[in-house]
Amino acid sequence: MAILDHGPYKEKLGEKNVQYLVKASLCILHNVAKVPQNRPLLRQNDGVQKIAYYTRVDDELLRVVSIMLLGYIIDEDESELIMDQSGAVEIMVKLLQGALNSKDRRCRGYTPFEITEGLTLIATCERNKKKIYDSGAIPIFLDMMQSEDSRDRLFATKVIWQLAFNGTLREKLKDNEALMSTLEGLSKDSSKAVSNAAQGAQWVIQKQAEEKSRTKPDAQSVNQTSGHVMISYQWDNQKMMLEVNKTLQNAGIKVWMDVEQMAGSTLQAMAEAVEKAYVVVICVSPKYKDSPNCRTEAEYTFQLRKEIIPLMMERNYNPDGWLGALLGAKLWIDFSDGCNFEESINQLIKEIKGHTPVENEVVTAVANNDHQTNASNKGPALGTWTKKDVRSWLKKNGLDFCLGVLAEYDGSLISQLQRLRKEVQSRRARHTEVPQGTHVAPEFFYASLRKDLGCSTLSEILQFSRALETIDGP
């Protein structure tokens, strides 16, 4: 990094030895950046700016190498550093064509699959997808998809898969008969990885996920007693997630987790796993964001409006782009290296149990003085509610955002909340002050709804208050 930032070298880039030294430094850093744990180190001390300088130099090779390096370490908000002024995509496509045309299948030292791997990486950034498509690269990818080298077929197909997440481009790809025919052939490729990528691209281009989501029955009409927790993760995190899976199973939680690295033909199995899940655990990491396979799972989960619990797998990672948008303001649980596993797994179990679906069962009313249902069959008296009844009441009133926090609440605690709210109303009506030392002031009550129960907006606070006021049974 010091070499890249050395002023005299910048002034003498035209000299062969200096150019070689800078190129070697960029290539070393590019390889270093392939290890996710190294990426925060490369961002230190204005690392992004030091590398970005070489995206604007005259030498095309230095521009390409710096672009591919930055592709690993920048977030989408910084993408203008590498794409808008450098012409990097056009240069990479030209290099790709040169490598395919050369006898030794290299151009400036790079093979077709190495260049395409770089394009796959920068294609994870939404604004770069259109640049790649507009560069005229699709026919080149089609040629690569028919190559004898499985690596060429794999990365060319992966680029197509990434491009397909853009709605406008997806329609154009769908209309390309040669492309769709090639993907169909590759879906039966002898290489498991190529087959997986081809069927994943087909899934997204043909909008199978969206079509299936439209035909899904309403969640309330599905028998949820057979549901499970699905773990969606990137392959590098398998060791940790196997331990999580084992612990959840021991806690009596039914879990679905792919441990055999599903190929394309089992995308249907993935879809069914999402459909039958009442919670999907998403393992957040840079590689998860970069993986089209993980994105396919996550976006299908989002389309079906499944409950999502994020696990942070890498310290200091701040999810951006599509992953950041999907997760929104959800709080994550720390499962990164060095985390307190016991504390994290207990928190995860509590969160999952807070979302456990209520079985479809009929509550029989038993007449018993003040503690039973009235003639209108409103349901059992509040003081007799179980934790399951509380979950049912929350879901009935659209208060799913409280499920995790109120997981341990039964009817007696909800009753206390209700009395607290009534006391607040009573004091307001009488214009009396709250005695010092008590905690029933309106400010305290509504602040507690916001802080302790997770009501983040005024509408959620009003929704919860209204539900308390009109309790008529679970």
Domain extents in the chain: 7-209, 215-354, 369-469
Residue 223 has pLDDT above 50, yes or no: no
* H or E stretch covering 310: strand 307-312
Percent above pLDDT 90 for the chain: 45
One-letter amino acid for residue 55 of the chain = T
Which residues, in sequence order, are bridge partners of residue 230? 256, 280
pLDDT digits (tens, 9 = 90+) for 61-98: 898 889 889 888 887 767 666 565 667 788 889 999 99
Looking up tokens 């799913």 gives 400
Length of the chain: 474
2: pLDDT strictly greater than 80: yes
Lowest mean pLDDT among 73-87, 288-302, 342-356, 394-408: 73-87
pLDDT for residue 364: 26
CA 24 – CA 20 distance, rounded (Å): 6
Mean pLDDT lowest among 237-251, 274-288, 423-437: 423-437
Q: Where are the beta strands (DSSP E) in 186-296?
A: 228-232, 255-257, 277-284
Q: Parallel, antiparallel, or unpaired: how do β-strands 277-284 and 255-257 relate? A: unpaired
Tell me how many degrees the CA angle 74-78-80 measures, rounded to the nearest 5: 120
CA distance 474 to 358: 11
Confirm if 166 and 201 have CB atoms less than 8 A apart: no
Q: What do you get for the CA distance between the two ends of the chain, in Å? A: 62
CB 10 within 8 A of CB 20: no
Q: Please tell me the distance from the alpha carbon of residue 59 to that of residue 218, in angstroms, as a whole number.
A: 58
Q: Is 178 helix (H, G, I), strand (E, B) or coil?
A: helix
Tokens of 276: 């039958």
> In the predicted model, what is the mean pLDDT of the chain?
81
- Return the structure tokens found at 318: 């701040």
CATH number, domain 215-354, options 1.10.150.240, 3.90.1640.10, 3.30.365.10, 3.40.50.10140: 3.40.50.10140
Say what the pTM is: 0.68
Task: Please state the φ and ψ torsions of residue 452, each to the nearest 5 degrees.
Answer: -90, -30
Give me the mean pLDDT over the 436-445 stretch: 44
pLDDT at 263: 41
- Window from 311-320, 367-376, 433-442 with minimum mean pLDDT: 367-376
Of the ranges 83-92, 142-151, 220-229, 363-372, which is most confident? 142-151
Any idea which of 174-188, 209-223, 410-424 has the lowest mean pLDDT? 209-223
**474 pLDDT tier (thresholds 50, 70, 90):** low
Provide the token pair at 381. 């008296």
Read off the DSSP letter of residue 190.
S
> Rounded to an integer, what distance in angstroms lies between the CA atom of residue 380 and that of residue 372?
5
- Rounded to 5 degrees, φ, ψ at 445 are -60, -50
Distances (CA, A) of 50 to 4, 44, 88, 238: 7, 10, 17, 35
Q: Would you place residue 396 in the very low, low, confident or very high pLDDT band (cuts 50, 70, 90)? A: confident
Q: Are 86 and 63 in contact (CB under 8 A)?
A: yes
pLDDT, residue 371, reads 36
Q: Write phi, then psi, for 148 (nearest 5 degrees).
A: -75, -20
Asked if pLDDT for residue 344 goes beyond 50, the answer is: yes
CA gyration radius, the chain: 28
Q: Which CATH superfamily is domain 7-209 in?
A: Leucine-rich Repeat Variant (1.25.10.10)
Position 165 pLDDT exceeds 70: yes
3-state secondary structure of 317: coil
Closest CA to 147 of 91, 200, 185, 108: 185
